Structure formats: C-alpha cells, structure tokens
Structure 1
Amino acid sequence: MSKSSMRKGSLKRKKSSLRKRIEGAVPKVQLEDGESFGEGERLGSQGSLHEWFKEQDERLERGRGDEDNPTRRDLGRVVALKMTDRSLCDRDDRSKVSFVREVEVLKHISHPSIVSYIHAFSTPAYHILVLEHVPGGELFDLVSNQELHAQLDEPLLRRIFGELCRAVSWMHAVGLVHRDIKLENILLTRPVFSEYSPAPLVKLTDFGLSRFIDPASPLLTTRCGSESYAAPELVIGRPYDGRDTDAWACGIVLYVLTTRRLPFDAIPTETVQETMHHEGHASVAGGRVRGPRRDERAERKALLMRIAKGEYTWPASSDVSEPLHGTALAQSDGLRRVVGRLLVRDPRKRTRVAQLWDDEWFAGEGAPPAPTLPDSVMPDPVDDSDDPHEPGAWDDTLDEDDIYDVVEEDDVADGVLVDGDDIGPDSVARREH
C-alpha cells in the first residue's frame, strides 16, 4: 500500500477503529497475580473510551424522536482540540514525534488526574488530538496572579501537589515517565478557590515527551524538557532514569507554587511579579517582552551550572502569623523538607514521588490518600551509600565542559532541552499515521 493511500485511510477512520489496540507506546510493566491499582487507575484506556462512546450513544437514543426533549438539545460535549500544523511536522520531525507519541501513550492509560484521550484524526492541514476539556486553566495562572496566589493556604497547596504526586506515582508504577512536568502542563478542573468537591482538582497534560520504559533497563539518553525544570543529570548529558527526573521536576513545581519564582533562575525577589513568564517569553515592567540579549548564552550556561550543582536558596524568613498564605508558605518546615528530598543532586539519593507519603507533611490537612500501588512496582529505598566506586556514583566535582557541550549542541529555542536521539529510522516519527 502506498503512503498516500495509507494517509487517506487514516482520514476515514471509523469510530470502531478507536477501540482497537495498536502497536505503539506499549507498557512493559506486568503486575503479579492478584495485584491491582486503585479505582479509575488502569492501563488500556480503550475501556474508558468505550464507555465514553457508550454514554454518547445512550444520550442519542434517549433524545431520538423527541425534538422537544431537553436531552435531545444537549447531545454535545465540550472537548479540547490540540492541533499540530502538518507542514510543521513535514519540516520538523520533533513535532511529529510529539504528536504521535502523545496519541499512543494516552490511548494506553487512564487516571483521574491525567487528561483523558478521546480521539485523534488528521485533516489536510492539521494533525488533531481530541482531549477532555479541563476548564480551570493552567496552574501557572495561579502562580502568576499575585492576588490569587496570596489566597493559597497550606491545605489547598497540599491537595494540589498531592494530586499531582498521585498521578506521577501511578505513571511510574506502570513504567511511564512524563519528562516535561511543569506548571503549564498541570491543569485545574475548576476555579481553584471554588466550593469543595471530592472530584480531582488537577490533571496532568501534554504527554508529547513521555514514553514507557523497561523497569529492568530504565536509563534514557535523550535530553528533553524545559530547562528550568531539568534535573542535574539531564543538563550535564548523563544517562538518566525518567522517574528520577520527574521527581526533580515535581520538586521545582512545589518550590514555585510556594515562592512564585524558579529556584535556579537568577531572578531578584523584588522583580518576581514582573518576571513570571511562560517558557520562552520573559516579560518586564510595562508589559514588554524582551528579545534575545548578547549575554543570553552566558546566562543560560550559568543557569545550567546552578542546576548541575543543585544550588538554590529559600526566601529570607520573616515574622508571619499562621495560618500561612501565599509566599509565606515558603516558611513551612515540612514543605521545605519535601522540596529538599526531591531537589537532590545525586539521583540515587533523590526521593521517588511514591515515597513522599512517608513524610509527615503529607499527613496534614488537605492531602489526598496515598496512592494504591502493588508491592511489585513500589520503588526501592533511597540509596544512602557514599561509595564513589558504585555504578552511577556522583562525584562532587563538576566539569564545566559538560555544561559547555550542552549549551553548544542543544537547540536553545523556548528554553527547552532537545536532541535528535529519538528520531532514527525506526522511531515513531517515521511511522505513517
């Protein structure tokens, strides 16, 4: 069959074809007999997709033949469309990698705090991913709005971060790593200060850099993700375990949720309000967006060096009354302890996300229950050994040439670490879809 006919066929997919399991980003984790995950947490989201179509069919059936029936007038459902320009995919294999990988991964998973896959199709102009609509906006919006953030208290913060950690813990248990956890990729299901509901408050999205790993051989080499959230092993180009780099990124998220600033970016405290920005767009007072500066490469190298060394500080303490709100949350000892367990330079000594529930801070008000994970997929205890001869042991010394190589070799657009290791002859980018 020619590529052109394959492409035409992909445009004529029927609803039933969505229920078929296809080759792609297939999980490699197998549970032992009798083990299971919590309710709503499962591999193979074809089941949830089937239920989605079944519900739609039942709504149609109820409304058929009765034009005045209110059910008949409410047959639709709001969804989110993620559209990728096909011409961009033709020019840049990374864009095609991202689209295809996100489709394949989301088809295989279902979790209450992960955005749900509904459908994917292509038009002559776009590749389109249909996802559930999550109406509350990005978590980034909460942090960038000073007035809103000032209302944030510790129980609500604990719930937001706890729900994120439950999702990430489950992903890691099934062998899935995200590799781009950041505020912009965490969505709120409703206004954050609305009336309490037991339904999930946050959902993780944007799985374009995610992939399943083999737990028996988990190390990856592709540098990817947003620099400000990148772990030391990423910025110096070492092989890494995506579960460890995701844990580091979760530590960055909690730090920023508390302080409204990124821990390794050189941003003076007094200018935080003006400099909170999305990746690639740094705003300044007056609303202007600054363009590239001559010293940008030097600034980037300095940022990566601070990350590689694990050098960050907390805002100075001050006298505040409890309960803590807004940036005063940075004075919570328990919160600082959790961040400190995640932002550990040596990945062997870094706490995995699923291990955070043994911390006292996660027993406080607002925290969701610990994730239900089978014993066979629970992470090993943190390695406390200091033997420099152990495989993968970290030396305190750091060669600046490692940082220089990253700065010189990687694309710097949008503050993202990327390379071409995933784009080989057999990569997902080469497959017709």
Structure 2
Amino acid sequence: MDKSERETIRQAKADWEAEEVAAFQARRPERQEIFRTLSGHPVDRLYTPAEVEAGGYEERLGFPGRYPFTRGPYPTMYRAQPWTMRQIAGFGTAGETNRRFTYLIAQGQTGISCDFDMPTLMGYDSDDPRSAGEVGREGVAIDTLADFEDLFEGIDLGEISVSMTINPTAWILLAMYVALAEQRGTPFTRLSGTIQNDIIKEYIAQKEWIFPVRPSMRIVRDTIVFGARQLPRFNPVNVSGYHIREAGATAVQEAAFTLAAGIAYVEEVLKTGMDVDEFALRLSFYFISHSDFFEEIAKFRAARRIWARIMRQRFKARRPESMRLRFHCQTSGASLTAVQPLNNVARVALQALAAVLGGCQSLHTNGWDEALAIPSEQAMTLALRTQQIIAEETGVTKSIDPLGGSYLIEAFTDRIEREVTAYLARIDSLGGTLACIERNFFQKEIA
C-alpha cells in the first residue's frame, strides 16, 4: 500500500468519525471517553490499514517457520500436532505428586510440569529447622535422588517431556534428572523438556535467589553449555516473563524484560567461545496469557519477531532454529478470584484461547480453585479439558495464525514491537541487563 492510499484511508476514517460516529454518539454516547488495554494503552474504535506499519509482507510477517517468525516458529504449527498440554503439579511428598502426574497423563496430558517447595528451591533439606512449615506446601519436597526416583516412578523419561520449575538450585535438580535417566539406561538423546533455570527474573520479580547475580549467571551459563553438548532435545533455560507480569509489569514490560534476560544469557554463553548456533536453538521462553485478549496475542507475535531480529542482527545467528522463539504459556494466576471462584473457569478458557491464537508451544491452564489452595484433582481435570476442547472442538488448530492480517492485531503487534525495542535500547544504554538489576532499574519500573 503506497503513502497516498494510506492517507486516503486516514481521511475517509476522519470523515466517518465526523459524520456517522458523531451523529450516533449524540444519541447514544460511548461507554467511556477513552478505552484502554489492560496495560493502559489507548484503543481506537476502529483499525484500518492506515494504522498498520508500512513495510513488506515478508519483512514484517512472513510465513510460519520462516524469519522473522511473526506467524509462528514452525511451518505447520498445530496442523501437525497441538501444543503440549502441560499441567503443573507439585505438592507434599514425591509419591503424592507422582500420583497426580500419573492421573493427569491418564486424562490425556501430553507433558509433565513440576513445582518444588521452598526448601528445595532454596537448597535446604526438609529436616532443616529453617524449612519448618514450608515442606511440601507450595511444591513437592525433594531432598535426595531417592525422592526423585519416587517422583518419576512408572514414568518413561524418554517418552514424555518434563518441565521443572526451579531456579537457584536448578543445576542440582538437572543433575538428579540426568542421573535418574542414566540409572534407568535412558539415552540422553531421548530426554526432552525444560528446566527453568532463569535466575535473572528472581532478582526482578520472584526474589528467590541464593547468590549474587553475577556468580549466579556463571551457574546458568554452565548448565546451558552442558545442555548444548549433552542433551540435544532438552531446554537448559526457560527465560520467564510470567513472574515479572504477575509482579505488576505491563505486557510491554513483560516482553521487554524477558527478552533482555535472554540477551544476557546469550552474551554470557558466548564468553565461553561457544558459537551462538551451538546453543541458541535450545533457549526457550515462558510468558503469561493475561486477560486482555488481543493485547496478549499481539505480545506473543511481537516477541517472536523481535527475538528473531536480535538473534540475526545482534548475535549473527545463521541457523533459522537459533532465531525462532519457542514459548511455554500459563494463564494468569493473579487474575483469578476467591470470590465466586467458578467464574475463573471462563477467565482461564479465554486466556488459554489467547495463548493458542498467539502460537504457544506448551500450555498450563490454571485450576479454578487456585485462588484458594493448591488446585484439586477435579479442578486440574477441568483445566486440562479446557485445553482439549480448544484443540478439538473450536477449529482454531486448522489454520496457522488465524488472526494474522487483522488490522487491530497487526497494529497492536507493531506498537508492542516499537515499545519493547525502545525499552531494550534503554536497558543497553544503562549498561545492560545485569547492570540494570544491580541498580534496581527493573524493580523500580514495575513498582
């Protein structure tokens, strides 16, 4: 579309607002003077081609599985297979959590996700006095390899992917996972899954860390290098925006701070002399799917495009696999209410649909009772069924990026890309991600 045609559309829209809209509003005013997204950005009453960034189709959108990956990281997306349905479980003893894993797998879950209790996260044994009141409360208690054996009793590590939500002690749990596979005779080439291992977001949002940030980065670096060399199908880091958003960030801040963390990890690994294409293809990400339906879809699409450009232009990646952003998604826990909790079923379903329309690779849907307690078996079953209904009954898996080309979606995607890129430039000007952590930049921005 040339400049004159865009200007013609702008003028026609202005005429429409001055005539039809003004006359109708005189009789029936709009509900608000300004409509805004959940992140506070104004929303126009109508989007046209004039609101979408100029530029070639292939440069901005392209095709799924091809740079810049706006429309998806894989060529066939859900037409080949749906996203991994990965419900989180983790409470009490290893045996109790194993029974939840086994139950969910029997209900059709296609991936495992495990939460660990606070003592395990922080490196304390369950019998340490400092662990009192916390053992098994917000995750499963793991002290020894024997606990880990119980956790995965009857589960073939070579047949199902495993995600572990743990950070300051991630390297210890990864060692247990590898040791268990070795003990069972499972080849490392068959192991698939993810360990979160994202220490940066702990300093920004979650606040569960043991060592200062720079020594902690060395541990993350070493696990990424180990994973690249020994675990070809395993993601040794899951760069997480979920916790940042739940701490109060906007959609733009979530994407910007998460990508800034990703940049820091790439820079750290490059210090070892490892080529970017040796490890970047196994980096993975973790985003929230919050309540503003269109803003969330646009956020996911913008994040893919920005990351692809960062990897190609900044880090000189050559392999397409190194440029594609793959992400796990979870619906928003902070959006759930303890009052009228069954309403959370609808919230979760819409957030899950946004994650799917945004092209997630795996998804956890929260239980309706999570505002009250660790989710019950019944609530987790319903949450899993929500994903299965989306996959099997709505038709959204039949076409790739079905909202691509929507003027609103493309305008939102362009706007989020601009704002995230500006944030990343600001972070660089302040000395980079680690320097920003040390001067509390991220924390102040969220606050």
TM range (shorter): under 0.3
Normalised to the residue count of structure 1, the TM-score between the two structures is 0.26
Normalised to the residue count of structure 2, the TM-score between the two structures is 0.26
Q: Higher relative contact order by CA 8 Å / sep ≥ 6: 1 or 2?
A: 1
> Whose helix fraction is larger, Structure 1's or Structure 2's?
2
